[in-house]
């Protein structure tokens, strides 16, 4: 098959029965008039590497790659998914679109866009498609599923008449022990000697104290606690959704989250971040790996001006 590259149109045109061999049989490119097919440079580079094209205007794989493929991470992800048996299409700006396994581009639409990046990249979590693919420096590709999370649980709000006396206690606030607070998993109970005593003082963390003060539960309500506004926004939203957030420090997150009062183990780890934050994919991978290692789901809470949105990220095996 004869292949020529139009650098202005950024397309490789393949003739000589290309439609049947490339598009009809394997879903590469877009069919043109007659038997020709137009390939994106990423597709052409992959076909050169696999030996399905001999050359493009005399260039082999390495030569064509140097002057026609801008983002090698996209090519590596494309190649990995193709080698796994998936059909993909490539947009003009080299975005990858993945079809459900077995679906041919001729008679179906893509299932999702794939965000293909290298290991040095930073990503905006709130704008990721449902599949993130990271091509690392060893030549491997790691995949992460990305989906909206809607925390919802069985914790009921405190009764309106619940009120407790508050006193400053280190970083947090100590309150008279309350069955209502204890049942809702607020605080930890300590005795006068600092040992676990079970029936004297309930020690609230700063974020718990700030939330309860705002809810009118603490007396006096203006108890002085220093709380990060972003963490307080997420804590408040989670409590309002009927789940119980507790510190996630041991797991490298802001909160571990219990969904019902019967749960012995938290189901989620939640990190509070600004809505437009761009963490490195190394940070994302680290958080996901740690959450998986303790059998929890990693969730990023995106704090905006008016609401909190939740995005769950997990390892995916296509």
Range of the domain at 21: 3-110
**Mean predicted confidence (pLDDT) in 220-235:** 85
* Domain membership flag for residue 247: no
Instruction: Looking at the chain, list the stretches that DSSP marks H as alpha helix, in order from N- to C-terminal side.
Output: 18, 25-26, 41-50, 61-68, 72-83, 179-183, 206-214, 229-240, 281-293
**Tally of structural domains, the chain:** 2
160 in the same domain as 106: no
Average pLDDT over residues 142-147: 98
Q: What is the CA radius of gyration of the chain?
A: 27
Tokens of 272: 């509070």
Q: How confident is the prediction for the chain on average, in pLDDT?
A: 92
The residues that are catalytic are 258, 265, 296
Output 260 or 166, whichever has higher pLDDT.
260
Instruction: Categorize the per-residue pLDDT at 196 as very low, low, confident or very high, splitting at 50, 70 and 90.
Output: very low
Instruction: Report the Cα–Cα distance between both ends of the chain, in Å, rounded.
Output: 32
Choose the final residue of a domain: 228, 251, 274.
Answer: 228
Residue 140 in domain: no
For residues 92 and 13, membership in a common domain is answered with: yes
* Predicted confidence band of residue 221 (pLDDT cuts 50, 70, 90): low
**Percentage of the chain exceeding pLDDT 70:** 95
Q: Are residues 91 and 19 in the same domain?
A: yes
In this structure, are 176 and 98 located in the same domain?
no
Both tokens of 36, joined, read 């020709």
Give the model's pLDDT for residue 98: 98
* Structural domain contains residue 249: no
**Most confident region among 136-145, 156-165, 186-195 by mean pLDDT:** 136-145
Residue 198: predicted pLDDT: 47
CA dist., res. 124 & res. 134, Å (int): 14
Instruction: Average the pLDDT over each of 35-44, 150-159, 164-173, 181-190 and give the range with the smallest value.
Output: 164-173
Q: Is the pLDDT of residue 24 over 90?
A: yes
Residues 6+ apart with CB under 8 A from 177: 189, 199, 200, 201, 202
Q: Are residues 17 and 98 in the same domain?
A: yes
Evaluate whether residue 170 is within a structural domain: yes
Summarised one tens digit per residue, pLDDT across range 64-116 is 999 899 899 999 999 999 999 999 999 999 999 999 999 999 999 999 999 99
Residues 12 and 104 in one domain: yes
pLDDT digits (tens, 9 = 90+) for 240-249: 999 999 999 9
Which residues make beta-bridge pairs with 148? 311
Per-residue confidence at 190, pLDDT binned at 50, 70, 90? low
Q: What is the mean pLDDT of residues 186-210?
A: 73
Band of pLDDT at residue 45, cut at 50, 70 and 90:
very high
- Are 191 and 174 in contact by the 8 Å Cβ rule? The answer is no
Q: Please indicate, yes or no, if residue 234 is contained in any of the structural domains.
A: no
- 67 and 161 in a single domain? The answer is no
User: CA 93 → CA 29, 42, 48, 165, distances in Å?
Assistant: 15, 11, 21, 61
Min mean pLDDT across 97-111, 169-183, 187-201, 256-270 is at 187-201
Q: Which of the listed residues 204, 228, 252 is the one where a domain comes to its end?
A: 228
Say whether both 106 and 179 belong to one domain. Answer: no
**Whether residue 48 has pLDDT greater than 50:** yes
Residue 46 inside a domain? The answer is yes
CATH code for position 71: 3.40.1350.150
Q: Check residue 223 and give its pLDDT.
A: 66
> For residue 292, is it within any domain?
no
Asked, for residue 304, whether it belongs to a domain, the answer is: no
Q: Which of 207, 228, 249 is the last residue of a domain?
A: 228
Count CA atoms closer than 13 A to 45's CA, side-chain side.
24
Q: For the domain that residue 216 is a member of, what is the CATH number?
A: 3.40.1170.20
Q: What's the pLDDT score for residue 280?
A: 98
70 cis-preceded (ω within 30 degrees of 0): no
Measured distance CA(90)–CA(123) in Å, rounded: 20
């Amino acid at each position: 098959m004869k292949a020529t590259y139009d650098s202005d149109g950024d397309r490789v045109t393949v003739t000589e029965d290309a439609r049947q061999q490339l598009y009809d049989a394997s879903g590469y490119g877009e069919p043109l008039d007659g038997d020709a097919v137009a390939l994106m440079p990423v597709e052409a580079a992959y076909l050169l590497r696999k030996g399905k094209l001999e050359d493009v205007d005399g260039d082999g794989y390495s030569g064509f790659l140097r002057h026609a493929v801008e983002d090698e991470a996209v090519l590596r992800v494309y190649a990995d998914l193709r080698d796994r048996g998936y059909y993909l299409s490539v947009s003009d700006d080299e975005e990858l679109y993945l079809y459900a396994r077995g679906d041919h581009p001729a008679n179906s639409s893509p299932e999702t866009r794939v965000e293909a990046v290298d290991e040095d990249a930073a990503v905006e979590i709130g704008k990721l498609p449902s599949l993130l693919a990271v091509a690392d420096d060893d030549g491997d590709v790691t995949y992460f599923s990305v989906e909206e999370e809607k925390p919802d649980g069985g914790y009921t709000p405190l009764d309106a008449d619940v009120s407790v006396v508050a006193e400053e206690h280190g970083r947090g606030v100590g309150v008279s022990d309350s069955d209502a607070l204890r049942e809702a998993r607020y605080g930890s109970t300590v005795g006068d000697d600092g040992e676990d005593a079970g029936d004297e003082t309930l020690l609230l963390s700063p974020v718990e104290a700030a939330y309860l003060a705002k809810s009118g539960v603490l007396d006096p309500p203006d108890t002085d606690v220093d709380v990060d506004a972003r963490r307080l926004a997420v804590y408040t939203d989670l409590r309002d959704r009927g789940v119980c957030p507790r510190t996630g420090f041991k797991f490298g997150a802001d909160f571990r989250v219990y969904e019902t009062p019967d749960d012995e183990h938290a189901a989620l780890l939640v990190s509070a971040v600004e809505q437009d934050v761009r963490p490195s994919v190394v940070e994302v991978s680290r958080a996901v790996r740690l959450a998986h290692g303790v059998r929890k789901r990693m969730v990023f809470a995106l704090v905006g001006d008016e609401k909190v949105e939740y995005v769950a990220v997990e390892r995916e095996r296509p």
